[in-house]
Structure 1
Amino acid sequence: MLRGQPTAFFQPFIDTATGRIAGVEALGRLRQADGTYTSVGPLFADPHTPTPDLLQLDRTLREDALQRFASAPDDWFLSLNLSPRWISQLERGAELPSLAQLERSGIDPTRIVYEITEAAGDLPSLTQTVARYRERGIRIAIDDFGSGYSQLDRVLDLQPDILKLDMCLFQAAARGGTRGEAVKALAQMAEKTGCWLIAEGVETETELDFALECGARYVQGFLFAEATAELGASDSHQQRFASLRSRFVDGKLAQQTRLLELRQQLAEFVTQLRPWAEHGGPLSALPDPQAFPGLLRIYQCDRTGTQITPNLEWNGMFWRENRRYLNHNWSWRPYFYALLAEGWNERRLALSTVYRDATTNQYCLTASQFLESGQRLLLIDLDASQLPGFAK
């Protein structure tokens, strides 16, 4: 028995390009006799809640959301949660209640997004239903993307327009570490497949920064607004968002300035190294790298990426030789062939992005400079966590 009056609440999506509200997600609430509201989430998560009751609740909430969304600005979209369980129960080719409901509302289908959790439901039925939605111009979002039940093949089969990052994963990733790198990889996948990315659960400025770092098209969360029964004005959060975005951009510009300074310092260091690298000499002839507390090693490769000298490692006091990686070819590493291409084409010192070294588990940054008319490549590996402004 469901207690309370089903009511749709709305939480806005902030467009990161404009800072304006671009749309809202409808979230289910039950209005109690004392005027308070409770979330319907626990009901849907409880296996003991009768399925007919859930189906009726789901449709009632969507009906309420559609009716009240009719008064929203014309450029907004409405995101509605749709359970794959209901789709799996439909007979092949049967009328879709969600489409009939939408048609009765009179709302342009291109303003509707259906959010589907990809972890459940019969994939063939889901794929066919999604195709029918697309015929009407409805967009499809995958909810909780990256959660413990994610199946990448299902996501690719559904070809969504939008990916909503799993909130728990996103918030953990914003704190850094391996989850941060994994979410950035998911964001790159979204970009390459033409999906818009929504960062859900943005509650702090750090989480907003991470969402912007990932290229999120929209952000949603308590940092800007909780879900409410009323629809706000499009520009409700524009001024605040602009201020936060400016702070983020200023931080990125400062980071780029530090990169330019580091590049200049490294170029000067390479100038000191060049005579030794080109003509050889004892380790004692190498310069003291006091300007680079995070320097890990120096080595040389041929132009195909094969290491032709030992690693020369600085331990804080003196240089030592490590021959372990002689004749290893590093061109398989994405950052390495990028260095090869940039250094060869521009014939100047090239700098990689920060990456995590799989062998040492360190965050590193590699500088490279071609020598002897491009026949050899001098490389310098740095511990990024020891560089100002690059700590992870």
Structure 2
Amino acid sequence: MIEGQPLPHYQPLIDTATGRIAGYEAFARLRRDNGEVVSAGPLFNSTDVEQHELLQLDRTVRRLALEHFQATPAGFLSLNISPKWLAQVSLEAPLPSLSLLEEVGLPAEQVVFEIAGLEGDPDRLKEVVARYHEAGIRVAVDDFGTGYSMLDQVIALEPDFLKLDIQLLHSATGGSRNSSDFVKSLALVAEKSGCWIIAEGVETEEHLHFALDCGARYVQGYLFGAAQESFVPEDTFQPLFSHLRDQYVQSKLAERGRLRELRLSLSGLFRELREWLDRGGKPEQLRAPAQYPWLLRFFLCDAYGTQISPNYEWTGEWWQQDPRYLDHNWSWRPYFYRILAASGEDRVILSNRYRDASSNRQCMTSGLFIDDGRHLLLVDIDVGRLRP
């Protein structure tokens, strides 16, 4: 038996373009007899509560939230809908959520249905989502990147929003480069599929910066307030967001400055290596790379990307030659065509970060065509040794 009076609480979603509140997500709460308000979330994962009680609680909170939101002049309300309930409704009859929305009288464009998990019959779920879209309601997929959020199912549903999983977001900002790259890849998938990203669980400035890196259109989390029983003016968090956004921009400008310094250093390194090659390219004539502590290795390819020299790697005392990659062709690397496009411009091109297979380090590669485009000089950079 569920104890307490059901009621909704609302957490704001901040529009990263304006810093204003763009909408709210509604959460189920229970008010105990002593006045204490507790989350009803754990009940939905409990085996001790009957499903019909949970369904009644869910619909009661949903109705209250819609009725409360009618007084809000703008923005949208995001309501969680469990695939468990969707699996039980009849597709021959009007969908309960659509009927409820019609009863309350809130415009469909002010509502987002947030589907938490994609378990169940994917064809049935796709049909339900299509009916939501026909009614003018936007759809979000929660916990994208984990659990049941299969990529192929997500693409098939054609949602309007994808919510990055909170645990992935926290892992990505907790020092895990793999998690960071994975989340950014998910965000890129969302962008390519025409979805807007919502980053939830934004609790720190670092979380916000990473969400902005991912191109998040909306952010929500304790950094901008916990869920509350009432709505607040839309510009409540605008000063705070503007300050944090300006800090983010400053950090990006500083990062750009560091990349500019790196390119200048690379220009000097390429100049030294070209002079060394002009003198015959003898290993014993190579200088210690004291000015370039980030240098992992360099090597020479022909114009088509096939390696024609060994790898030259500095051990800390001498240059070591590694011939294992002779005749390997690197034209499949994404950076190759960026360098090719800059051929003849004498510009230093930098790749995106990637994990180097032989050293297991985070690397970038820079390249320059030399000898009138007959050869390609490539330098691998140890990102971990760059100036922070």
TM-score by length of structure 2 reads 0.97
- The equivalent of 1:249 in structure 2 is 249
Matched, 1:86 2:85: yes
Q: Name the CA shift for 1:135/1:149 in 2 (closer, same or farther; >3 Å).
A: closer
- The equivalent of 1:154 in structure 2 is 153
- The equivalent of 1:19 in structure 2 is 19
Displacement after TM superposition at 1:239 (Å): 0.4
- The equivalent of 2:238 in structure 1 is 238
AA aligned to 2:139 is: I
- Trace 1:22-101 onto structure 2 (pairs within 5 A): 22-74=22-74, 76-101=75-100
- The one-character-per-residue Cα deviations of 1:201-221 (angstroms, maximum 9, x if unpaired) are 011111111111111111110
- The equivalent of 2:217 in structure 1 is 217
- The equivalent of 1:168 in structure 2 is 167
AA aligned to 1:143 is: D
Task: Please tell me whether the aligned partners of residues 311 and 322 of structure 1 are also in contact (alpha carbons under 8 angstroms).
Answer: yes
Displacement after TM superposition at 1:345 (Å): 6.3
Farther off after superposition, 117-126 or 378-387: 117-126
Structure 1 CA distance for aligned equivalents of residues 371 and 192 of structure 2 = 38
Give the unaligned 5+ runs of structure 2: none
Structure 1 CA distance for aligned equivalents of residues 158 and 47 of structure 2 = 30
Farther off after superposition, 76-85 or 174-183: 174-183
- The equivalent of 1:289 in structure 2 is 289
- The one-character-per-residue Cα deviations of 1:39-82 (angstroms, maximum 9, x if unpaired) are 111110112311111111111001000000011132x1110001
AA aligned to 2:151 is: L
Task: Please tell me whether the aligned partners of residues 117 and 147 of structure 2 are also in contact (alpha carbons under 8 angstroms).
Answer: no
- The one-character-per-residue Cα deviations of 1:140-166 (angstroms, maximum 9, x if unpaired) are 100111123332221111111100011
Displacement after TM superposition at 1:137 (Å): 1.2
Q: Provide the aligned length of Structure 1 versus Structure 2.
A: 387
Displacement after TM superposition at 1:278 (Å): 4.3
Farther off after superposition, 302-311 or 271-280: 271-280
- The equivalent of 1:125 in structure 2 is 124
Structure 1 CA distance for aligned equivalents of residues 158 and 117 of structure 2 = 11
Aligned-partner SS, 1:119: coil
AA aligned to 1:112 is: V
Structure 1 CA distance for aligned equivalents of residues 387 and 281 of structure 2 = 32
Structure 2 CA distance for aligned equivalents of residues 358 and 142 of structure 1 = 34
- Trace 1:268-283 onto structure 2 (pairs within 5 A): 268-278=268-278, 280-283=280-283
- The equivalent of 1:313 in structure 2 is 313
AA aligned to 1:114 is: F
AA aligned to 1:355 is: Y
Displacement after TM superposition at 1:279 (Å): 5.2
Task: Please tell me whether the aligned partners of residues 198 and 217 of structure 1 are also in contact (alpha carbons under 8 angstroms).
Answer: yes
Matched, 1:362 2:372: no
Farther off after superposition, 119-128 or 227-236: 119-128
AA aligned to 1:370 is: F
AA aligned to 1:318 is: W
Task: Please tell me whether the aligned partners of residues 339 and 352 of structure 1 are also in contact (alpha carbons under 8 angstroms).
Answer: no
Displacement after TM superposition at 1:372 (Å): 1.1
- The one-character-per-residue Cα deviations of 1:182-239 (angstroms, maximum 9, x if unpaired) are 1011011111111100111011111111111111111110011000000011000000
Displacement after TM superposition at 1:253 (Å): 0.5
Aligned-partner SS, 1:344: coil
AA aligned to 1:384 is: V
- The equivalent of 1:145 in structure 2 is 144
Displacement after TM superposition at 1:327 (Å): 0.6
Q: Name the CA shift for 1:119/1:300 in 2 (closer, same or farther; >3 Å).
A: same
Supply the RMSD in Å over aligned alpha carbons: 1.4
- The equivalent of 1:116 in structure 2 is 115
Farther off after superposition, 147-156 or 359-368: 147-156
- The one-character-per-residue Cα deviations of 1:7-34 (angstroms, maximum 9, x if unpaired) are 0100000111111100000000001111
Structure 2 CA distance for aligned equivalents of residues 216 and 362 of structure 1 = 28
Task: Please tell me whether the aligned partners of residues 113 and 140 of structure 1 are also in contact (alpha carbons under 8 angstroms).
Answer: yes
Task: Please tell me whether the aligned partners of residues 312 and 320 of structure 1 are also in contact (alpha carbons under 8 angstroms).
Answer: yes
Structure 2 CA distance for aligned equivalents of residues 92 and 359 of structure 1 = 55
Displacement after TM superposition at 1:366 (Å): 1.4
AA aligned to 1:16 is: T
Farther off after superposition, 328-337 or 154-163: 328-337
- The one-character-per-residue Cα deviations of 1:83-104 (angstroms, maximum 9, x if unpaired) are 1111111223211110011111
Aligned-partner SS, 2:71: coil
Structure 2 CA distance for aligned equivalents of residues 276 and 235 of structure 1 = 61
Structure 2 CA distance for aligned equivalents of residues 125 and 345 of structure 1 = 56
Aligned-partner SS, 1:19: coil
Displacement after TM superposition at 1:304 (Å): 1.8
Displacement after TM superposition at 1:290 (Å): 1.0
Structure 2 CA distance for aligned equivalents of residues 339 and 356 of structure 1 = 20
Matched, 1:184 2:184: yes
Structure 2 CA distance for aligned equivalents of residues 271 and 173 of structure 1 = 37
Displacement after TM superposition at 1:174 (Å): 1.4
Aligned-partner SS, 2:330: coil
AA aligned to 1:379 is: L
Task: Please tell me whether the aligned partners of residues 344 and 372 of structure 2 are also in contact (alpha carbons under 8 angstroms).
Answer: no
Task: Please tell me whether the aligned partners of residues 338 and 349 of structure 2 are also in contact (alpha carbons under 8 angstroms).
Answer: no
Displacement after TM superposition at 1:333 (Å): 2.2
